[in-house]
Amino acid sequence: KGLSQEGWPEVWSQPDMKSSYDVVIIGGGLHGLATAYYLAKNHGITNIAVIDKGYIGGGGSGRNTSILRSNYLTPDGVKFYDRSLKLYEELSGELNFNLMFAQMGHLSLAHDDGGMRTMRWRAEVNKVQGVNSEVIDADAVKELVPYIDTSKSTRYPVLGALYHPPGGTIRHDAVVWGYARAAHEMGVHIIQHTEVTGIDVEGGKVTGVKTSQGNIATETALNATAGWSSLISDMAGIRMPVTTSPLQAAVTEPVKPFLGTVVVSGTLHVYVSQTDRGELVFGASVDPFTSYSMRGTLEFVEGLATNVLSLMPSLSKMRLLRHWGGLCDMTPDYSPIMGETEVDGFYVDVGWGTYGFKAGPVAGEAMAENIATQKRPEIIKGFGLDRFSSGRLVGEKGAAAVGH
Ligand code: PYC
């Protein structure tokens, strides 16, 4: 309160927290806000609080490299992320908010025979699910991205790539704001700067959520946090097979548009795209240790520069403007944990590793259906916490943008 620009209308209000809600969503990032939006829009449930200990979109939703794609490895993964991409395609119109979706195409480079085999495998799984992906050779890569060094003399020569035309980037903050505004208009309370400190469970059921602003009575709580997902789940007595590691990214000064495709190299642990403003956005693999730190490190910048320059040597004069870190909750199979838990009324949408941003819309849609109908929808059937006891893992490590 009091921080709004003079004369500008408030896009969502900052309401006083009520003492009870039908649904409390913990985490005001993309997933939490999207779930609130679809609960209200698709199921008519509007007595909802979305609670965040910071500001909305201040976690992973505002700290990613905004890449969208659906070229995964397992049929479960491909169907799921494809639904997300389809929702993203319509989202600017639906939310009446320009999300600047640039469907510029996405290239995953292969630098050895093993890499080419994985790309062929992914292309075939993608095609069976109706997703547009194909393997192309090094000459075709060069045609799409002339600045890539495709000579044979490099340490990791480019042999080819998985080309996925529907992939691209979208303005991540705008997606958060668009969902927040639409959810707010339907009556959802967005409660910022309020920390969840406990979850009340009686007789195996959720009865309330404790916060730094007081207690809320509710029978339904969703953990939609990243970074703190295991700590929040612990509050309800649910252990998560999750470890948390930082993921860093960086952005350069703006230059003329020259890169019309997202380029990823798992071997070099790097991904690059160019924003509408001309900046290059770089990412890498998660830091090789667990931590809750969101600070950038010098080691990261050094490694990143080395790898970017082996891919595109002509970028050597570019200056980095800033770099940052976010938190990734990694699961053993690199797929999320979604759905109900052993505690009645306690739902989770966590464990997103490095895939969370691209899944926001479908995760919100599916979790809203899960909560409203109390049945886990088909599209997330395979992602339940129960898979770690049944052994039916959904291995998506092979679809990671970079090695982890
Ligand atoms: O999976 O495409 C991806 C990705 C990009 C950045 C982090 N993950």
Residue 165 pLDDT? 98
Closest by CA position to 299, among listed 277, 318, 323: 323
Q: For residue range 2-49, what is the model confidence (pLDDT) as tens digits?
A: 556 778 888 898 899 999 999 999 999 999 999 999 999 999 999 999
Residue 111 tokens, joined: 């630098």
Please give the distance, rounded to the nearest whole angstrom, from the Cα atom of residue 47 to the centre of ligand 1: 34
Q: Which residue has the tokens 């075709």?
A: 140
pTM of the entire predicted model:
0.97
**Residue 336 to residue 355: CA distance in whole angstroms:** 8
Query: For the chain, how many helices (H) and strands (E)?
Result: 9, 19
% of the chain beyond a pLDDT of 90: 94
Residue 34 tokens, joined: 């999207």
pLDDT at 217 over 60: yes
Q: For residue range 226-254, what is the model confidence (pLDDT) as tens digits?
A: 999 999 999 999 999 999 999 999 999 99
Q: Which residue has the tokens 């409203």?
A: 372
**Residue 346 to residue 329: CA distance in whole angstroms:** 19
The residue nearest atom 8 of ligand 1, judged by CA position, is 354
Q: Which residues pair with 200 in a beta bridge?
A: 208
DSSP state of 311: H
Whether the CB of 38 sits within 6 Å of ligand 1:
no
The residue nearest atom 7 of ligand 1, judged by CA position, is 354
Please give the distance, rounded to the nearest whole angstrom, from the Cα atom of residue 68 to the centre of ligand 1: 8
**Residue 389 to residue 154: CA distance in whole angstroms:** 45
**What is the phi/psi pair of residue 369, to 5°?**
-65, -40
Q: For residue range 125-173, what is the model confidence (pLDDT) as tens digits?
A: 999 999 999 999 999 999 999 999 999 999 999 999 999 999 999 999 9
- Which CA distances in Å does 379 have to 34, 78, 167, 192, 370? 16, 10, 20, 31, 11
Q: What is the mean pLDDT of residues 266-286?
A: 95
Q: State the pairing for strand pair 346-350/337-340.
A: antiparallel
Contact 34, 138 (CB under 8 A): no
Closest by CA position to 144, among listed 158, 131, 124, 129: 158
Q: What is the mean pLDDT of residues 57-83?
A: 97
Whether the CB of 12 sits within 6 Å of ligand 1:
no
Closest by CA position to 61, among listed 191, 180, 226, 192: 226
DSSP state of 223: E
Q: Dihedral sign for Cα 251, 326, 329, 41, please.
A: negative
Q: Which residues pair with 26 in a beta bridge?
A: 51, 223
**Residue 220 to residue 216: CA distance in whole angstroms:** 11
**Residue 348 to residue 142: CA distance in whole angstroms:** 43
What rounded mean pLDDT belongs to the chain? Answer: 96
Please give the distance, rounded to the nearest whole angstrom, from the Cα atom of residue 109 to the centre of ligand 1: 14
Q: Which residues pair with 72 in a beta bridge?
A: none
Whether the CB of 346 sits within 6 Å of ligand 1:
no
Please give the distance, rounded to the nearest whole angstrom, from the Cα atom of residue 9 to the centre of ligand 1: 35
Whether the CB of 190 sits within 6 Å of ligand 1:
no
Q: Which residue has the tokens 């642990």?
A: 269
The residue nearest atom 1 of ligand 1, judged by CA position, is 401
Residue 3 pLDDT? 57
Closest by CA position to 356, among listed 370, 340, 367, 371: 367
Contact 224, 29 (CB under 8 A): yes
pLDDT at 185 over 80: yes
Please give the distance, rounded to the nearest whole angstrom, from the Cα atom of residue 228 to the centre of ligand 1: 20
Cα distance from N-terminal residue to C-terminal residue, the chain: 41
pLDDT at 333 over 70: yes
Whether the CB of 271 sits within 6 Å of ligand 1:
yes
User: DSSP string of 226-254?
Assistant: SSSHHHHHHHTT-----EEEEEEEEEE--
**Residue 290 to residue 287: CA distance in whole angstroms:** 8
**Residue 221 to residue 235: CA distance in whole angstroms:** 11
The residue nearest atom 4 of ligand 1, judged by CA position, is 401
Contact 143, 196 (CB under 8 A): no
Please give the distance, rounded to the nearest whole angstrom, from the Cα atom of residue 1 to the centre of ligand 1: 35
Residue 61 tokens, joined: 């939703």
How many residues are listed for the chain in this entry? 404
Whether the CB of 401 sits within 6 Å of ligand 1:
yes
Whether the CB of 354 sits within 6 Å of ligand 1:
yes
Q: For residue range 87-108, what is the model confidence (pLDDT) as tens digits?
A: 999 999 999 999 999 999 999 9
Helix (H) / strand (E) containing 38: helix 30-43
Whether the CB of 65 sits within 6 Å of ligand 1:
yes
